[in-house]
Amino acid sequence: MTAQAAIATEPIPAEFLGYWKRVDTPGVRRARRICRTVLRFDPIPAEDKVMAFAHGYYDADPVAEAFVDDVYQSRGPQEGRRLLDQAITHGIDSVPDAPESMRRLFAEFETAPPWLDPAQVEQGAALFRRYGPAVFSFAGVETLLGYTESSIVKPLALTGGYAGDSALNRFMETARFWIDVSEPGGLDAGGPGRATAMRVRVMHVFIRRHIADHAEWRPEEWGVPISQSDALITLMSSSLTPGLAMHLMGYRTSRREIETLMHYWRYIGHLLGVQPRWYPETVVEGLQLSTVFLLKCARTAGADGVELVQSYPRAFTPKTGTPWRKRFRDEVNYRAQLGYTRYFLPGRFYRKYDLPNPWPWALHPLLQAPGNLVVDTLRRHVPAVERHQDRYARWRRETWWRNEMGDKESKFAPAEQLRR
C-alpha cells in the first residue's frame, strides 16, 4: 500500500510520510539484505503493522477522556481528584454516584486483559528491579535520543516538565513511578504502582488537551499529543532497549527474559491506557518497530530539543548551601550521570549538544560490568544470590531516590499553566 492510499482510509502524520521515502533507499535495502542473511529476519515489518503504527499517532485514550469530561469538568478538579482517590483506594463501588464513564474506566482498569500472564508480570518486575538505579540513568539518557522529534518534544517543552530547573523533579517523579510499578506487589490491587498508573493516565488526559489546543501544536504533522504510538515507543524504551543495552554493563538478560520484560511493560501500558493497535511480543517484532520509528524520524524539534537535551545533565548539578555529606553524594552522582550519558550516547550526539566533559566518569558504567556479570551469572544457578541481588538493588534505588528528593512525595499532577 502506498502512503497516498493509506491516507485515503485514515490520517497519517505528515512527518511519518518520510518513512516510505527512506525505506526504499539503497542503504536501507542493503541493510535489510545483510540482516536477513546474518540475523535471519527482516528488520522491516509487514506493511499492515507499519500502518497500525502510523495511524496510532491519532489514537488517544477515549475511555479516560470521557471520565474527565463527566467528573473533573462537570464537578470541578478537587471533587474529581477526591473521587479518583476514593475509587483507587476503596474500589469503584465505594463511589455510589459514579457516572457510567467512571465505572467503564475502572472496569477496564481492574479487568485483566485476555493476553495477560501474571507470572510473566511478576518475573518482569524482578528482572527490571535487578538493574537497580542504573536502568533509570540509562532510561534518562535513552530519552535524549528521542528529543529530536517534535511529537515527543513539544508537550515536554510547553509544559516545562523536563526543561530548565524543573527537569530534576520531573525525572525523579518518573523514577518514582518506575520504582512503584516494579516493587513486589506494586501492580497488585491496592499496590502503589497500580495507583500511580491510574493517576498518570488521568494526568495525561489534561496534558493532551492543554497541548492539543495550543497554537504551536500541529496535528496534521504530528498527530495527537501523547499518542498511542509515541507511548508505545516509550514502552519499548523501558523493556526491549534496556534489555539489550544493559548487556554493556554486564547483565546477562536473555532473549526470553527481554520478551518477559516486554510483556510486563505491556501490562503497565494497559494500566496507563496505552493499548495500541499492534504491540510487539517478540524481540524481532520489537526491533522491527524500532526500525520503523528510526526511519520515520523527521528530526524537526530544533531549539526545544536542544534545551531538553542540555537540561538533563544540568539537572543533577549539586546545589549550593547543602550539608557537606549530601554535597559530596551529589557531586559523585552528578559525575556518575555524566558518565552514563556519555557511555550510552553516540559520541557525535554528545558533542553536537555540547554536553559537559564526562571523563573519566564515562568509564564508570564499564567498570561495573565485571561485578554485574559475576552476580548475574550466579543468580541463574544460586537462588540465594538472586534474593540478595534483589534486596540490594531495591535498597540502592530507594537510597538513590531519597538522596535527591528527601521526604518529598511525587504528585503526578499536570502543569497548571503552559510555559508559553
- pLDDT tens by residue, 278-311: 999 999 999 999 999 999 999 999 999 999 999 9
pTM of the shown model: 0.93
Written as nine digits, the cell of 347 is: 559520541
- Those residues with Cβ within 8 angstroms of residue 114's Cβ, 6 or more apart along the chain or in another chain: none
CA distance 192 to 201: 14
Task: Please give the share of the chain, as a percent, with pLDDT higher than 70.
Answer: 94
What is residue 190's predicted lDDT score, i.e. its pLDDT? Answer: 85
Residues lower than pLDDT 70 in the chain: 1-8, 161-165, 409-420
Burial class (CB in 10 A: 0-12, 13-18, 19+), 277: middle
Cis peptide before 360, with omega less than 30 degrees from 0? yes
**pLDDT of the residue at 164:** 57
Overall size of the chain counted in residues? 420
Q: Cell numbers 455510589 correspond to what residue?
A: 96
pLDDT of residue 300: 93
CB 343 within 8 A of CB 365: yes
Query: Tell me, what's the pLDDT at 1?
Result: 46
In this predicted structure, what is the pLDDT of residue 57?
A: 97
Q: Write the burial class of residue 236 (CB in 10 Å: 0-12 exposed, 13-18 middle, 19+ buried).
A: buried
- Residue 71 CA to residue 251 CA, distance in Å, equals 46
pLDDT of residue 11: 92
List all residues 6 or more positions away from 141 whose beta carbon is below 8 Å from its beta carbon.
312, 340, 341, 344, 345
